[in-house]
């Protein structure tokens, strides 16, 4: 590599005028999701019952912000203003968080695990239909960095101490699912380029209706597994 060459090359697939907007949408929605996840962990930390819990959530917040930075940097590499890429998703995300504001520490934890988990599973499915470099970045920022283990431990301990908490949190989890699907449908309706990735990608053909049905079945099953891990009924 000569001094004049950039340290990182943009994949040639991103020159495609149909595919490029879809990838920009994917990076934009993930970037705004990571930014809001950072903000939520910081706010949830203010409700933490112990200093250890507060420190743990603050550490998770820092990790989410680093993920945001990775996505922001990739958008800039593509010659895209990150703010412009994130802007189309603000309304749906902000409405979701407004409708699902946790009333206490435990609700905040379940929201981070269940609500974010649904989105994470969906974007992992989408990642199968993008170029290799974009896929690697998406999977990197969606990787569990210890938050799952932390949340499951705290929620299960709380339920062991007071069984009544389980029923309340199970209802909360079901509400989160409904709100998350509403948010996803809103994004899908507004951003044709993003949803088009599922019906035709760069490296492979997209999904037919049967495959899309199987995908949603997988998403539902993974949600059930998360609720079970928390000790809650889906």
Average pLDDT over residues 43-64: 94
Given a cut of 50, whether residue 1 has pLDDT beyond it is no
Question: Given this model, what pLDDT does residue 48 score?
Answer: 94
- What's the pLDDT score for residue 207? 64
Three-class secondary structure of residue 200 per DSSP: strand
pLDDT for residue 7 is more than 50:
no
- What mean pLDDT is predicted for residues 71-97? 94
DSSP string computed for 43-55: HHHTT-SSHHHHH
In terms of Cα–Cα distance, which of 89, 82, 234 is closest to 172?
Answer: 234
Residue 201: predicted pLDDT: 52
Chain centroid offset of residue 154 CA = 21
- Asked whether residue 5 is domain-assigned, the answer is no
- Does some domain include residue 9? no
CA distance 166 to 232: 6
Q: Is pLDDT above 50 for 2?
A: no
Range of 80's domain?
15-148+162-230
Instruction: Quote the CA–CA distance of 88 and 186 in Å, as a whole number.
Output: 11
Judge contact between 27 and 75, C-beta under 8 A.
yes
pLDDT of residue 19: 86
Q: Which of 19-23, 67-71, 192-196, 208-212 has the highest mean pLDDT?
A: 67-71
pLDDT of residue 200: 61
CATH number at residue 30: 1.20.1260.10
Whether residue 154 lies inside any domain: the answer is no
Tokens of 100: 């699902």
Q: Give yes or no for residue 233 having a pLDDT over 90.
A: no
Q: What is the mean pLDDT of residues 183-193?
A: 75
In a domain, 85, yes or no: yes
Q: What 3-state DSSP class applies to 157?
A: helix
φ and ψ at residue 80, rounded to 5 degrees: -110, 140
pLDDT at 129 over 90: no
Cα separations (Å) of 106 from 43, 59, 101, 112, 151?
Answer: 13, 18, 12, 10, 9
| Cα→Cα distances 214→9, 55, 200, 203, 218, Å | 35, 40, 17, 20, 6
DSSP 8-class letter at 163: T
The whole-number pLDDT of residue 8 equals: 55
User: Taking CA 131 as the corner, what is the angle to CA 93 and CA 88, rounded to the nearest 5 degrees?
Assistant: 20
Q: Which residue has the higher pLDDT, 143 or 66?
A: 66
Q: Is residue 23 part of a domain?
A: yes
For the chain, the domain total comes to: 1
pLDDT-wise least confident of 77-91, 126-140, 144-158, 204-218: 204-218
pTM, rounded to two decimals: 0.86
- The answer to whether residue 6 is domain-embedded is no
Looking at residue 193, its pLDDT comes to 75
In a domain, 188, yes or no: yes
């Amino acid at each position: 590599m000569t001094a004049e060459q950039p340290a990182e090359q943009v994949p040639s697939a991103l020159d495609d005028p149909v595919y490029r907007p879809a990838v920009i949408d994917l990076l934009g929605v993930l970037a705004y999701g990571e930014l809001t996840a950072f903000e939520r962990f910081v706010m949830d930390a203010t409700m933490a019952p112990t200093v250890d819990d507060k420190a743990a959530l603050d550490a998770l917040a820092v990790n989410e912000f680093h993920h945001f930075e990775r996505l922001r940097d990739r958008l800039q590499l593509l010659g895209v203003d990150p703010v412009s890429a994130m802007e189309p998703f603000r309304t749906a995300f902000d409405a979701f968080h407004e409708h699902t504001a946790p009333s206490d520490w435990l609700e905040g934890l379940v929201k981070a695990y269940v609500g974010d988990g649904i989105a994470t599973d969906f974007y992992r499915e989408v990642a199968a239909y993008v170029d290799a470099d974009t896929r690697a970045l998406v999977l990197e920022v969606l990787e569990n960095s210890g938050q799952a283990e932390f949340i499951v431990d705290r929620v299960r301990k709380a339920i062991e101490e007071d069984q009544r908490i389980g029923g309340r949190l199970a209802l909360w989890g079901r509400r989160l699912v409904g709100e998350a699907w509403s948010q996803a449908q809103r994004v899908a309706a507004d951003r044709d380029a993003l949803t088009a990735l599922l019906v035709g990608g760069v490296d492979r053909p997209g999904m037919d209706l049967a495959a899309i049905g199987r995908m949603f079945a997988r998403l539902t099953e993974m949600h059930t597994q998360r609720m079970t891990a928390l000790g809650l009924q889906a």
